[in-house]
Amino acid sequence: MEELKQEGQIKISEEIDIVTVRKAVRQLSSQVGFSQTDVTRIVTAASELARNIYHYAGHGVMKWRLVSENNDTGIELIFEDSGPGIEDIEKAMDMGYTTGGGLGMGLPGAKRLMDRLNIQSEPGKGTTVTISKWLQGSMHAM
Q: Is 122 exposed, middle or buried (0-12, 13-18, 19+ CB in 10 A)?
A: exposed
In CATH, which of 3.40.109.10, 3.30.565.10, 3.40.47.10, 3.50.50.60 is domain 7-134?
3.30.565.10
Average pLDDT over residues 11-17: 97
Q: What does pTM read for this prediction?
A: 0.88
Q: Give yes or no for residue 3 having a pLDDT over 90.
A: no
For the beta carbon of residue 11, count every other beta carbon within 10 angstroms: 13
Which pLDDT belongs to residue 141? 45
Query: CA-to-CA distance for 51 and 21, rounded, in angstroms?
Result: 10
Give the domain ranges of the chain. 7-134
